[in-house]
Each structure stands twice: as C-alpha cells, then as structure tokens.
Amino acid sequence: MSSNIIVSAIQQPCNADKAGNLNLSIDLIKEAKQSGANLAVLPELHLGPYFCQNEDFNCFATAEPIPGPSTEILSQAAKDQEIVIVSTIFEKRAPGLYHNTAVVFDTDGSIAGKYRKMHIPDDPGYYEKYYFTPGDIGFKPIETSIGKLGVMVCWDQWYPEGARLMALAGADILIYPTAIGWDPADTNDEKQRQLDAWITIQRAHAIANGLPVVSCNRIGFEASPDDASTGIEFWGNSFITGPQGEFLAQAGTSEQIILTKELDRARSERVRQIWPYLRDRRIDEYGNLIKRFID
C-alpha cells in the first residue's frame, strides 16, 4: 500500500433531477480520476435536494435499500474508474426504518462498508429526526484498498468524540460529506461566524488527531418546499487539510469544483511523534465523558 494517496472532494449542486445529479457525480468522479485521484468524496445526500427542510412523508418514497439501484451504478463507476468512492444515500433499511448512510465503494466495485450518521439534528430547516434513525454501526473506520477511512456525515463533524474514536480505531483520514448552508435572512456577520466555526471545528479534528481531513459540501440555493422565498444557501467551502490542520485545498462558496490533493500518510506519523496527544491522554480521568451532563 502506497504511503501517498490522491484525494478529491467533489463540490456540486444537487437539484430535483435524481438521474441528472447521479450522472453529474459520475462525470466529476471521472474527471477526478483523470487528475490521478485514488479517492473521490461526494456531498451528503447528493442524489437530490436537501429534503429535510420540512417534514413530508412523501419523501420516504425516495429512500433506497443498500445495495440498491444507485449503489449498483456507483459500484460500476468505482470499478470502471478503479477509484474509491464515498457517497451518501437515504437508506431504507426496513419499512419505517431509515438512515442517512455513507457508502464506501472500493476500486473493484465492491461495497467496502457503510457508516450510518450518528448525530441527527432537529433544527429549523434541518428536520432530520423526522426522517433518520440514529446510526447503530458506531465509529468504525472502513477498510479499503487505499487505507482505513474514518467516514462521518455532516452534523457528526461538530463532535470531537466521533473524530477521536475513528482515530483510535486506526483511521488514516477523517472524511465528512456534508450539506450545510446559510439562512439568507441572517446578517453577513452571522453568516461569517457560522462558516468560520464550521471550518475551525474540522481543522481542530485534524490537529487533535494528527490526521488529514476531507470535508465536502454542496452548493447552491435550495428553496424551502413550504415557502419558495426562504430556504438554504449551501455555502460550499469544501476543503482538504493536512494532519496539523493546514489547508491543502479549499473551494469557494458557489463554484462547482473538484478539489484534488496528494496526501502523505507517513507525515501523520511524524506529526504524532512531534505532538503526541494520544500518548498523553488521561484515559483514567475521562469517565465522565459518557454522562449527558455533570451535575
């Protein structure tokens, strides 16, 4: 296994045309491969609009089993391009049981593994608890031909515990497909604070764990199904960092783009030797972390 791998974060819009979204994703995966990529990461729920802006039982009809029609197409794309793909799908596990699930396809087209989103938000415009059951697989890296991928999804990116558990389980890279944006009614200052917080927390995961981070967001304004004058302006800004949180590549707010960067995994070990956070953890004093709150 090579120490160096080339990773791509694919920043794209996601509209109501499911087939069109999937075809665009595959076309961009092909471009990433032409640039030498070994890994392509797609935004959260890239097959369609972000449907969680309201609660509508009709949306359950868009969920798919895994394996299913979309995973079959993505499996073939991974095999044809000999590239590892990270996709996120609205999974129908059983009648009345649905997940927001990241699926990892290996270079031979097989499903290397999946990760079910663990932290499920329930906020204005992000009514995910209505649709998604919290994941039950845990924070387990997915073994692929290019290494162990610590894949999490969107709201998971705010929690240092998930990143740490992935690192402790041997992840080589932390990967966050996401769908996050601004309320257009917010002030410019508030929008900047939100974006800065989103970037900072993920860079902190890289630093605290000595691992590269790939964060991949969608772009474009998606109107609320309840009121077309409101909605979410997805802020893009996908990025790739090294194990000290340093930016290696970063996208803008609205451009369709493939961010591609070569990562040296041996550097993660060197960084951990300089900043040995894992050595100095006081695991004998962390028992209260499993409590909801310390009264």
User: Which ranges constitute the DSSP H helices of the chain?
Assistant: 18-34, 69-81, 160-168, 188-209, 265-274, 277-280
Given the residues 14, 44, 59, 261, select the one marked as catalytic.
Answer: 44
pLDDT in tens, 119-154: 999 999 999 999 999 999 999 999 999 999 999 999
Residue 295 lies in a domain: no
Predicted confidence (pLDDT) at residue 21 exceeds the cutoff of 60: yes
| 91 located within any domain | yes
Kindly state the tokens that stand for 5: 């791998």
Which of 154, 216, 222, 261 is the catalytic position? 154
Instruction: Note the pLDDT tens digit of each residue in 202-242.
Output: 999 999 999 999 999 999 999 999 999 899 999 999 999 99
For residue 180, the enclosing domain spans: 4-290
Confidence of residue 3 (pLDDT cuts 50, 70, 90): confident
Rounded to the nearest integer, the mean pLDDT of the chain is 97
The answer to whether residue 14 is domain-embedded is yes
pLDDT tens, residue by residue, 51-92: 999 999 999 999 999 999 999 999 999 999 999 999 999 999
Q: Is 92 a catalytic residue?
A: no
How many structural domains are present in the chain?
A: 1
d(CA 283, CA 280): 9
Give yes or no for residue 186 having a pLDDT over 70: yes
Q: Which residues have CB under 8 Å from 94's CB, separation 6+?
A: none
Active site (annotated) includes residue 52: no
Given a contact cutoff of 8 angstroms between Cβ atoms, the answer to whether 88 and 46 are in contact is yes
Is residue 54 assigned to a domain? yes
Is there a contact between 243 and 202 (Cβ–Cβ < 8 Å)? no
Handedness of CA 195, 197, 198, 199 (dihedral sign): positive
On the CB side of 95, CA atoms within 13 Å amount to 0
Q: So what's the pLDDT on residue 265?
A: 86
Let me know if residue 77 belongs to a domain. yes
**HSE-up of residue 45 (Cα within 13 Å, Cβ side):** 25
pLDDT recorded at residue 2: 63
Catalytic: 190? no
End-to-end CA distance of the chain: 49
Q: In this structure, what token pair is assigned to residue 18?
A: 């499911």
Question: Do the Cβ atoms of 23 and 73 come closer than 8 Å?
Answer: no
Tokens linked to 46 = 């890239």
Q: Answer yes or no: is pLDDT of 1 > 80.
A: no
Residue type at 197? A
Structural domain includes residue 257: yes
C-alpha torsion sign, points 83, 88, 90, 92: positive
Contact 218, 251 (CB under 8 A): no
| pLDDT grade for 11, boundaries at 50, 70 and 90 | very high
What CATH code is carried by the domain that includes residue 173? 3.60.110.10
Long-range contacts from 112-118, C-beta under 8 angstroms, 24+ separation? 112/84, 112/142, 112/143, 112/144, 113/140, 113/142, 113/143, 114/66, 114/142, 115/140, 115/142, 115/151, 115/152, 115/153, 116/91, 117/152, 117/153, 117/154, 117/155, 117/156, 118/152, 118/156, 118/162
Within-domain flag for 278: yes
From the candidates 33, 92, 114, 117, which is the catalytic residue?
117
